[in-house]
Chains A and B, each alone.
Chain A
């Protein structure tokens, strides 16, 4: 309930058009390839999506980020994406693909100069060896590139993160380090939507778990971590 609402205003019916809840709010999201999706993640909440490859998990994240033509309504903390341009929206909900691209030769150049200190700190937190941050991208391992790609999104300080298999190439130890950073973001109210095949990851992040099957989203009871 918003502060300052006059008391004589009738209580709003369960209005599907304008609930403006804090968090990520997705309605009738669809494209020629996938959907429709209705999906809500509260502020500080995490959603983990699993499912067979080709089921539409990446398409779903790309549609939320508005990287593929699609229709439907997406809001973050009450602000609709149509109220701003594509780049401004994606600064709020950055998307990290499973195999993120690199557009310069050196790692450091991929970070804005005023974000490099924060990025270096995060790189150390993620178990990257000192010096990898200044190395050429071509010299990094897949796992190192994956962690740095996540860091590229983290330093934006965005209120939401869309992560496509952010720890798939990491060993358990490195994956836990990344999860710890994500948990800290969740505690600050950040929304995280993540594609992951690691069933334990949803549990560790106390996430809602969804299953993508043939381009439709199903909610699943929280599965226990595999033993």
Chain B
């Protein structure tokens, strides 16, 4: 397989499209040109930085460096999940539960793929572990964030009906059952949509990238299928773990509804 190597001038030509967007913004008074240019610049700097970092870590062949990179990525994802919802936990509760969900969902799915399907030597080889973790974390972030936001919003909104049930002696679990279900569904739904659309409406990015890099389409497809399964598993785990941990923090040993733990 021979990938077509891109030169900086190739990228410069493509960058003219960004200039076109900015021009469009000025002409149509979209007031978006600053943001477009800033986002594009940021994207280029971030990606070049990660490219150098990955090259460095791959060369190190040091498990500790691999773990450190994945841990930083996971921490950023966990923080995003904790701070995104409109209603949030006071203190460190949100971060603790989102970190647990991210760590378990990511480790479980990535380790499964490394130990059974890809089997690189050693199994924690940075090239594979970091790449897989990076893709999986995107799904984990999305589904965890959607599930948490949905749960906290709906529990806040449905306080009267939850407390009406609690007041009549229902368990907290029964009184919130439908809300948790909805939250987890909400978290998993984008992955389901992504799988349904794959290949028909969209050509998934990973697959396209590998085909562009010269891989046989069927080989690329197999990789994409493996990844889709990983993403589906990871988003299910992430949504369910984070939703149930959050639910646990919304009640106490007397099965009250503790909205005072939110701000």
Binding between chains A and B? yes
Q: Which of B164, B169, B258 contacts A101 (CB 8 A)?
A: B164
Task: Determine if A44 is an interface residue (Cβ-Cβ < 8 Å).
Answer: no
Residues in A neighbouring B161, C-beta threshold 8 A: 101-103
Residues in A neighbouring B171, C-beta threshold 8 A: 87
Task: Determine if A38 is an interface residue (Cβ-Cβ < 8 Å).
Answer: no
A101 near B158: Cβ-Cβ < 8 Å = yes
Interface residues of A in 135-178 (CB under 8 A from B): 149, 152-153, 156, 162
CB 8 Å contact bits of B165-179 with A (1 = contact, 0 = none): 111111110010010
User: A66-B256, A69-B256, A86-B254 are known contacts. Are A91 and B163 too (CB-CB below 8 A)?
Assistant: no
Residues in B neighbouring A96, C-beta threshold 8 A: 167
**Cα distance A97–B162 when bound, in Å?**
12
Tally B residues with Cβ within 8 Å of A: 25
User: A90-B169, A153-B168, A156-B169 are known contacts. Are A66 and B160 too (CB-CB below 8 A)?
Assistant: no
Residues in A neighbouring B167, C-beta threshold 8 A: 65, 67, 90, 94-97, 100, 153, 162
Q: Which of A87, A88, A153 contacts B166 (CB 8 A)?
A: A87
Question: With contacts defined as CB atoms under 8 Å apart, how many contacts are there between chain A and chain B in the complex?
Answer: 75
Q: Which of A66, A87, A97 contacts B170 (CB 8 A)?
A: A87
Interface residues of B in 229-263 (CB under 8 A from A): 252-258, 260
Interface residues of A in 69-113 (CB under 8 A from B): 69, 85-92, 94-97, 99-103
User: A66-B254, A85-B254 are known contacts. Are A101 and B168 too (CB-CB below 8 A)?
Assistant: no
A103 near B165: Cβ-Cβ < 8 Å = yes
How near does chain B come to A58, taking the closest CB pair, in angstroms?
A: 11
**Cα distance A102–B161 when bound, in Å?**
5
Tally A residues with Cβ within 8 Å of B: 27
**Cα distance A94–B167 when bound, in Å?**
5
**Cα distance A69–B257 when bound, in Å?**
10
In the complex, what residue of chain B is closest to A149 when comparing beta carbons?
A: B164
Task: Determine if A68 is an interface residue (Cβ-Cβ < 8 Å).
Answer: yes
Residues in B neighbouring A101, C-beta threshold 8 A: 158-165
CB 8 Å contact bits of A43-79 with B (1 = contact, 0 = none): 0000000000000000000000111110000000000
B164 near A97: Cβ-Cβ < 8 Å = yes
CB 8 Å contact bits of B85-115 with A (1 = contact, 0 = none): 0000000000000000000000000000000
In the complex, what residue of chain B is closest to A81 when comparing beta carbons?
A: B254
Residues in B neighbouring A89, C-beta threshold 8 A: 169
Q: Which of B158, B163, B178, B253 contacts A67 (CB 8 A)?
A: B163
**Cα distance A50–B78 when bound, in Å?**
49
How near does chain A come to B83, taking the closest CB pair, in angstroms?
A: 26
Residues in B neighbouring A86, C-beta threshold 8 A: 166, 172, 253-256
Residues in A neighbouring B254, C-beta threshold 8 A: 66, 85-86
**Cα distance A153–B170 when bound, in Å?**
12
**Cα distance A172–B135 when bound, in Å?**
66
User: A90-B168, A90-B169 are known contacts. Are A69 and B160 too (CB-CB below 8 A)?
Assistant: no
A152 near B168: Cβ-Cβ < 8 Å = yes
How near does chain B come to A2, taking the closest CB pair, in angstroms?
A: 29
User: A85-B255, A86-B254, A87-B255 are known contacts. Are A97 and B163 too (CB-CB below 8 A)?
Assistant: yes
**Cα distance A149–B164 when bound, in Å?**
9
B255 near A97: Cβ-Cβ < 8 Å = no
Residues in B neighbouring A94, C-beta threshold 8 A: 167-169
**Cα distance A95–B168 when bound, in Å?**
6
**Cα distance A112–B162 when bound, in Å?**
17
**Cα distance A101–B169 when bound, in Å?**
14
Residues in B neighbouring A153, C-beta threshold 8 A: 167-168
**Can you list 30 A-B contacts with CB-CB less than 8 angstroms, sorted by A residue number?**
A66-B254, A67-B166, A67-B167, A67-B256, A67-B257, A69-B256, A85-B254, A86-B172, A86-B256, A87-B166, A87-B169, A87-B170, A87-B172, A87-B255, A88-B169, A90-B167, A90-B168, A90-B169, A94-B168, A94-B169, A95-B167, A96-B167, A97-B160, A101-B158, A101-B160, A101-B163, A103-B165, A103-B178, A153-B167, A162-B167
A residues apposed to B, CB below 8 Å? 65-69, 85-92, 94-97, 99-103, 149, 152-153, 156, 162
